[in-house]
Structure 1
Amino acid sequence: MNSTINQLLQHRSIRKYKPEPVSAEQLRAIVEAAQKAPTSSNMQAYSVVAVTDPEVKRRIAHLAADQQYIEECPVFLLWCADLLRLKYASAPIEEVEIPGTAEIFIIATVDAALAAQNAVVAAESLGLGTVFIGGIRNNPQDISDLVGLPDLVYPVFGMCLGYPDQEPTQRPRLPLEAVLHRERYSTEAYPESIERYNRELNEWMLTRAGGTRDSNWSKEMAGRLKSRQRTHMRSFLENRGFKLE
């Protein structure tokens, strides 16, 4: 194993931060590293908004299900799929209408995700911690208004950034056999590997929750699939120019 793989294998989500600030140089290095992520056809169809204002972070935290660590982290990064910049890039050549297709929506969303993951790796290499915040999609219009996102830009997720003030245990992941398929997709390994993972995750949950959370992956996923979350997202995206045709 090399140092990069070892770092990736040690990843944990951090939800408690020291008050020590993230420097402008660190933030710049992290975003520059994010920019080196792969991007479809060099479109670079994403933007990131760095929020440090305590009041803005407080309001974001409230809109994202009152997640306190958004308030506590020194920097909150809002990762956005951004098609607007492409209009500006094309304007000197000709006025081009951004196609309202599912494909360009996927491109922009994936670009944002790839860049953000690069940022996580860069941040952890500097001794910083992160946690992704999908809760910003609970109230995407309010979040967009709060930070001035225009049409053709939507918030994909947020990310807390700062120096860790905790040492959480690492959440177990699925066995490799449940994820890695060779030559052809196969469900053959699923029953045994999911059963094994259920036992491992159950033990982790009981330890982490002081013995009060007796659950496993199958139970968690069944509950997740039964709940129709954030059904407002389609109309929100279409209103912002992501037509998903």
Structure 2
Amino acid sequence: MNPTIQTLLSHRSVRQFTEKKLSQEQINTIVECAQMASTSSFIQAYTIIGVKNPDTKARLAELAGNQPYVAANGHFFVFCADLNRHEAAGEMEQTDVTASLESTEKFLVASVDAALAAQNASIAAESMGLGICYIGGIRNNIEEAGELLGLPDRVVPLFGLAVGEPAKETSQKPRLPLKNVYHEEKYEQDREQFKKGLEKYNETISSYYSDRTGGKRSDRWTEQMSGMLSEPKRMHMKSYLDKKGFMKS
């Protein structure tokens, strides 16, 4: 097994970091690796905001649901969908690009581009022996987060990425069975068949939580997902995206 595959298969979220800050060389390398991710039609529709200021990180931690590791880490990155520079490109070339920038398709492109860049950044960081944790909670109070980061129209914060030196070894959550995520030729629609896979996975996850918490928690994956999805969250997203110039068509 080569080192790249070993790094990928060893991934786990880290939520406790030492006080050691990333060097500027480490930050630059992580961002440069992010930039080498694939990008649709060379559009590169994302921006990465690096946050070092302790007060800003503390405020982002509050906005993200009081998650302490948003403030306490080696460096905090915020990945944004960004079509602002493409609006500027249209102005430079005296071309009206508004209809494209306001389309749902281009928001999807920007979101996928940002996610691909972030995953490159994560793998780069983990290859350096650092730990990472994605922070979707940035979207809990997305408008306030965007204002804090000074984001103009056509730029929205999608998620954060906490990076740093792990304070302790963390366990790895078992993933879904391969047969539940990988289908060949066409989507496997035998629901009873893949429910069997989910039942096995429920046993695995329940055992994982029980071992990790000394028996205090043993919820199943389907139980966890059903509970989470029974109450819609972040229903403000559509109006915010509309306000920022996204997904108008």
User: If the TM-score is normalised by the length of the shorter chain, which range does it land in?
Assistant: over 0.9
Deviations for 1:37-89, whole angstroms, at most 9, x for unmatched residues?
11010000000000010000000000100000111112110000000011122
Letter in 2 for 1:98: T
Q: How does 1:206-221 map to 2 (within 5 A)?
A: 206-221=210-225
Letter in 2 for 1:88: A
Q: How does 1:146-165 map to 2 (within 5 A)?
A: 146-165=148-167
For 1:225 and 1:126, the matched residues in 2 are separated by 36
Q: Secondary structure at the match of 1:204?
A: helix
* Cα pair 1:87 1:95 within 8 Å, conserved: no
For 1:120 and 1:215, the matched residues in 2 are separated by 29
Matching of residue 139 in structure 1 with residue 132 in structure 2: no
* Cα pair 1:16 1:164 within 8 Å, conserved: yes
Aligned to 1:55: 55
How far did 1:179 drift? 0.8
Aligned to 2:72: 72
Letter in 2 for 1:122: A
Aligned to 2:187: 185
* Cα pair 2:39 2:113 within 8 Å, conserved: yes
Aligned to 1:3: 3
Q: Secondary structure at the match of 1:243?
A: coil
- Unaligned 5+ segments in structure 1 are none
Aligned to 1:106: 108
Q: Secondary structure at the match of 1:73?
A: coil
Q: Secondary structure at the match of 2:174?
A: coil
Q: How does 1:81-120 map to 2 (within 5 A)?
A: 81-99=81-99, 100-120=102-122
- Pick the aligned partner of 1:240 from 220, 223, 244: 244
- Unaligned 5+ segments in structure 2 are none
Letter in 1 for 2:84: L
Paired residues in the alignment total 245
* Cα pair 2:90 2:97 within 8 Å, conserved: no
Q: How does 1:27-46 map to 2 (within 5 A)?
A: 27-46=27-46
* Cα pair 1:105 1:244 within 8 Å, conserved: no
How far did 1:208 drift? 1.7
How far did 1:187 drift? 3.4
Deviations for 1:190-229, whole angstroms, at most 9, x for unmatched residues?
1221111000000111122221112011101111221110
Counting aligned pairs with the same residue, the percent is 44
* Cα pair 1:13 1:129 within 8 Å, conserved: yes
- Pick the aligned partner of 2:205 from 201, 206, 210: 201
TM-score by length of 2: 0.96
How far did 1:91 drift? 2.2
Root mean square deviation, CA, Å: 1.0
TM-score by length of 1: 0.97
Deviations for 1:165-199, whole angstroms, at most 9, x for unmatched residues?
12111000001011110111103341221111000
Q: Secondary structure at the match of 2:98?
A: coil
